[in-house]
């Protein structure tokens, strides 16, 4: 854990400045807190073990009180990366807005409850197939808001599992939320990460560029790649199908589980190619770029050209289509 700064709370931000009201379709009116406002108004207990020793050594009151209670209070400021959150801590909730009391520290996600880790994700990260399936999610994207997101886990060094939903409550309901898989580059582009710097001043994140799917895309096919059964099996083992797809049920064409399965199969094909071309670094990097940026182009960029058996081993011929803008 890293201390960001000492005695600071000088942002001057009004905690209620981002609160807005949204009318329900049923006619009732409710107050919906924007994520930043919710974070500013909500605090969470974290164990004293999560507080850096240098902070406790610097503040005897904080050390004595938190050690006696076993915890202190934290207010989430934002995320540094998928597994690290910047929080403001104090032994008393009333001190979280006292510029002489709180400290800013970076803590692992495991130290915070799931409700504290809810964030937003850019609408550009949501596959079109999910928007066509879930009208509530589509309405959120069409409005001046963004879908809610919750990091679930890191699958591989450059692959992350993120749950998305039209509202915060649905994130904890598997029937009303979706799992999508994003690369490190996509996380940086679509999530609101804070800059990793020793400062309380957080610069605004520039909005993502308009998706290339809004205009015609010229594609250049790469040479077909032969993928062995071993490479395909290794790629399949990186994806937990049983957790995301009800395999015991017959999947209805176009249903939510059906679309999830299509996305996971596509992911497996990309990862199988990356293994098969490991000796060709230039080709591997090209395929990796297509994998990372594929959602921008609104169409499938990988296909199975054929399958054959040889010496009791199965092989697949896969082809990747590269947008001209990436060459």
- Mean predicted lDDT score pLDDT of the chain: 75
9 with 101, same domain: the answer is yes
Alpha-carbon distance of 299 to 214, in angstroms, equals 11
Q: What are the DSSP E strand ranges found in the chain?
A: 2-7, 19-23, 29-33, 44-47, 71-81, 84-90, 103-108, 119-120, 148-156, 159-165, 178-182, 219-221, 225-228, 302-310, 313-323
12 with 59, same domain: the answer is yes
125 with 169, same domain: the answer is yes
Structural domain span for residue 50: 2-116
Residue 11, domain member (yes or no): yes
Q: What are phi and psi of 215, to 5 degrees?
A: -135, 170
**pLDDT interval class at 124 (50, 70, 90):** confident
Question: Environment class of residue 152 by beta-carbon count within 10 Å: exposed (0-12), middle (13-18) or buried (19+)?
Answer: middle
pLDDT at 41 over 70: no
Q: State residue 158's pLDDT score.
A: 66
Residue 77, domain member (yes or no): yes
Of 69, 86, 116, the position where a domain reaches its end is 116
231 with 303, same domain: the answer is yes
For 176-232, how does the pLDDT look when each residue is reduced to its tens digit (9 = 90+)?
Answer: 899 888 877 788 788 877 765 443 333 222 233 344 444 456 888 999 999 999 999
**pLDDT interval class at 12 (50, 70, 90):** very low
Residue 212, domain member (yes or no): no
What percentage of the chain exceeds 70 in pLDDT? 72
Residue 209, domain member (yes or no): no
Provide the 3-class DSSP secondary structure of residue 36: helix
255 with 172, same domain: the answer is no
**Contact indicator for 302, 319 with CB cutoff of 8 Å:** yes
What percentage of the chain exceeds 90 in pLDDT? 14
Looking at the 3D structure of the chain, how many domains does it have? 3
Residue 211, domain member (yes or no): no
For 223-236, how does the pLDDT look when each residue is reduced to its tens digit (9 = 90+)?
Answer: 999 999 999 999 98
Query: 272 or 59, which is more confident?
Result: 272
**pLDDT interval class at 255 (50, 70, 90):** low
320 with 227, same domain: the answer is yes
**pLDDT interval class at 248 (50, 70, 90):** low
Which of 87-91, 95-99, 298-302 is predicted least confidently?
Answer: 95-99
**Contact indicator for 275, 225 with CB cutoff of 8 Å:** no
86 with 162, same domain: the answer is no
276 with 287, same domain: the answer is yes
């Amino acid at each position: 854990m890293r201390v960001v700064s000492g005695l600071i709370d000088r942002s001057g931000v009004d905690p209620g400045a981002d609160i807005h009201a949204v009318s329900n379709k049923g006619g009732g009116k409710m107050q919906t807190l924007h994520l930043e406002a919710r974070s500013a108004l909500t605090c969470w207990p974290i164990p004293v073990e999560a507080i850096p020793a240098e902070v406790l050594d610097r503040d005897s009151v904080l050390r004595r009180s938190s050690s006696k209670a076993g915890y202190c209070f934290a207010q989430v400021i934002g995320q540094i990366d998928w597994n690290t959150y910047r929080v403001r801590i104090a032994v008393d909730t009333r001190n979280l807005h006292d510029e002489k009391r709180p400290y800013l520290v970076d803590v692992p996600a495991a130290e915070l409850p799931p409700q504290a880790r809810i964030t937003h994700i850019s609408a550009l990260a949501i596959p079109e197939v999910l928007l066509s399936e879930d009208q509530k999610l589509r309405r959120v994207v069409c409005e001046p808001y963004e879908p809610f997101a919750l990091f679930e886990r890191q699958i591989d060094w450059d692959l992350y599992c993120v749950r998305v939903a039209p509202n915060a409550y649905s994130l904890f309901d598997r029937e009303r939320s979706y799992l999508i898989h994003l690369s490190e580059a996509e996380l940086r582009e679509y999530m609101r990460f804070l800059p990793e710097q020793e400062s309380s001043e957080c610069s605004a994140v520039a909005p993502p560029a308009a998706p290339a799917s809004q205009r015609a895309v010229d594609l250049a096919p790469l040479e077909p790649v032969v993928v062995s059964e071993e490479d395909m099996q290794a790629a399949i083992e990186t994806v937990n199908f049983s957790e995301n797809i009800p395999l015991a049920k017959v999947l209805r064409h176009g249903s939510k589980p059906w679309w999830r399965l299509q996305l996971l199969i596509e992911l497996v094909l990309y990862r199988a190619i990356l293994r098969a071309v490991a000796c060709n670094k230039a080709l591997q990097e090209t395929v990796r770029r297509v994998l990372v940026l594929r959602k921008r182009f609104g169409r499938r960029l990988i296909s199975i050209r054929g399958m054959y058996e040889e010496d009791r081993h199965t092989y697949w011929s896969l082809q990747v289509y590269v947008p001209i803008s990436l060459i």
